[in-house]
Amino acid sequence: MRTQQFLGVFHRLLEVIARGILLLVAFIRGPAQSQPPIKDLTLLHSATTLALKIRNRELTSEDVVSSYIERIKEIQPILNCVVAQRFEEALKEARKCDELLKSQDAPSVEFLAKEKPLFGIPFTTKDCIAVKNMRQTAGLVVRKNTVADKDAEVIKLMRSAGAIPLALTNVSELAMWWESSNYLFGTSKNPYNTRHIVGGSSGGEGCIQAAAASPLGIGSDIGGSIRMPAFFNGIFGHKPSKGIVSNDGQYPSAHSYDQDQLLAIGPMCRFAQDLTLILKIISDKNADLLKLNQKVDISKIKLYYMEDDGGQYLISPVDPEIKAAMKRVVKYFEQAHKVKATKLNIKLLKKSLALWLANMACKDEKDFSYELTNRNGQLNIPLELFKWMLCMSNHTFVALFTAIFEKFGLKHGSEEHVRLMQQSKDLYQEFKVFCCFYFDLNINGDYYYYTFLFFKDILGEDGVFLYPTHPTAAPMHNEPLFKAFNFSYTAIVNVLGLPATACPLGLNKQGLPIGIQVVAGLYQDHLTLAVAEELERGFGGWVPLAIQA
């Protein structure tokens, strides 16, 4: 216990020192860059609204696609979020949409709304999800010439719904870090302050959405890769229930059933109403399981929350401003909907990191070192570290560190691995049947009163759990190296396989986005999405940086 306490104190001290050094470096480099203001008001519409306007001939698809192309050209030199584009192809596809609407055989508005709800709408996705005839590098130098020969299943479904792929966005190397930076495309920068990160691995996607350079996007999430970028960039992001959306076409693909259950592909966007629309499309035949058409009465939900994980070692404490935002949400639901939230203390959440690492453990040496060779043998890590020190390696330091960590970390099938996998199951059961004892002693004459509270099936079909998405707002570039395990707040939800929606709650005192994640029971995605829309109404949702009238 003393060793753990010492490590905790040392970690806090290291964080403070690292932050001070990074602030000094930032001061020397000069002020943060400002992104250009939004001039085209078309960019301020939700994807749902744009699709409606195109169907009703109030806007043309070509105009919409052109608006987003111009916006990308404005912000890309500053934010570096796009790694590949298909502007000409997208414009041609947009013109075909407009020509169809003008033709004698034009489909009815009702048909388009039902069968092609994103007709003529451009969208973006991360450079891990295959788009036919576009590169699929996953930020790995050796894959720089790899071109996808077919669409990922989610891209195929988006095209079937009428959407038009526009560009690919930046990721961390092999999508296994929470800062989007690699040696192929460089580092993406936060729209709210370019000194800060955009998150990862769907960081370029979070960035392009926040900068109003794409109406909607598709990300993937194995430990928080949708929700952390959504949180850092002040947008909405949804990790669906496990097994709902096909992972086909995502690279790297999962090596085991356990990993595949952790991985989820889902929507990222500025407006909460678009989440449900996109999820209906990409969940395809599984959409009925999610009851997305079912209206949610907010006043009937059961609300639970925790302000932090109980104090994991080597994890940063939750910022007071994030805790304050959580309290405002709790108060809002009580005042606006008479829903009184219950504060929980789930002790197993203190083991979030260990549980996620156990579920990620690889067998047959198909670990991160194997992935770094593009699945062609094992990387010579000592040699690569030496090359990195000479600025000759094709791999980032954090990728090499991850490979080393795995080599000396938890082994698949070990006694500790088996124990942690069982605890993962225990935690899932604790969310299903959670007992909470409240002991209160009141003396009234000779009588003692004890209160026993019992919550059976805590989430069920009407419960939602509010939990921090991350303990801090977006760190400065390279700062995650000193806070490597802070992703545990999102990772534990992947272990549980539950749906979770990252919801923005405005900006902190430094002007950076903050928010929370909303978790529900398995296949109860409609609850988290309904709460997201309610929080958008109550707290404003995405905050545009600058609009030029």
Secondary element (H or E) of residue 457: none
CA–CA distance, 506 with 149 (Å, rounded to integer): 41
Give the helix ranges, DSSP H, for 433-486: none
Given this model, what pLDDT does residue 545 score? 87
Task: Check residue 199 and give left, alpha or beta (phi > 0: left; psi -120 to 50: alpha).
Answer: left
* Rounded CA separation 424/12 (Å): 28
DSSP one-letter string for 314-356? TSPPPPHHHHHHHHHHHHHHHHHH----EE---GGGGGHHHHH
pLDDT score of 453: 33
- Provide the pLDDT for residue 37: 94
CA pair distance 103, 236, nearest whole angstrom: 37
The DSSP annotation for 298-314 comes to GGG-EEEE-SS-S--TT
Q: Of 181, 201, 241, 246, which is the active-site residue?
A: 201
Grouping H, G, I as helix, E, B as strand and the rest as coil, residue 394 is coil
Query: Which pair of structure tokens corresponds to residue 438?
Result: 């409240």
pLDDT value at residue 547: 85
Of 471, 489, 455, 259, nearest to 351 by C-alpha is 489
DSSP SS3 for 538 = helix
Q: Which helix (H) or strand (E) segment is 272 a member of?
A: helix 272-283
Q: How far apart are CA 279 and CA 154, in angstroms?
A: 10
Residue that is written with structure tokens 């299943």 in the block: 153
Taking CA atoms, 454 is separated from 115, 309, 429, 436, in Å, by: 46, 21, 15, 6
Q: b vs e for 531-543, b when ≥16 Cβ sit within 10 Å of the residue's Cβ?
A: bbbbbbebbebbb
Q: Give the integer Cα–Cα distance in Å for 469 and 490.
A: 6
Judging by DSSP bridges, how do beta strands 164-169 and 122-126 pair with one another? parallel
Distances (CA, A) of 280 to 88, 237, 244: 28, 15, 10
Name beta bridge partners: 86.
none
Q: What angle do CA 423, 309, 202 make, to 5 degrees?
A: 90
Q: Which residue has the tokens 């192309």?
A: 69
What does the alpha-carbon distance between residue 217 and residue 70 come to, in Å, rounded to a whole number? 17
Active-site residue, selected from the candidate residues 225, 241, 369, 393:
225
Residue 451 near residue 457, CB atoms below 8 Å: no
Cis amide bond preceding 499, omega within 30: no
Q: What is the pLDDT along the chain (549 residues), one digit of tens a residue?
A: 566 677 778 788 888 898 889 888 888 888 899 889 999 999 999 999 999 999 999 999 999 999 999 999 999 999 999 999 999 999 999 999 999 999 999 999 999 999 999 999 999 999 999 999 999 999 999 999 999 999 999 999 999 999 999 999 999 999 999 999 999 999 999 999 999 999 999 999 999 999 999 999 999 999 999 999 999 999 999 999 999 999 999 999 998 888 899 999 999 999 999 999 999 999 999 999 999 999 999 999 999 999 999 999 899 999 999 999 999 999 999 999 999 999 999 988 999 999 999 999 988 778 999 999 999 999 999 999 999 999 999 999 999 999 999 888 888 889 999 999 999 988 888 776 543 433 333 434 433 333 333 334 589 899 999 999 999 999 999 999 999 999 999 999 999 999 999 999 999 999 999 999 999 999 999 999 999 999 999 999 999 988 876
How far is it, in rounded angstroms, from Cα 299 to Cα 336?
A: 9
Query: How far apart, in whole angstroms, are the C-alpha atoms of residue 408 and residue 42?
Result: 52
Q: Is residue 126 among the annotated active site residues?
A: yes
What lies within 8 Å, CB to CB, of 87 at 6+ separation is: 69, 166, 167
Q: The whole model's pTM is what?
A: 0.93
CA atoms within 13 A on the CB side of 173: 23
Q: Which of 66, 67, 116, 126 is catalytic?
A: 126
CA distance 286 to 181: 34
CA distance 135 to 148: 6
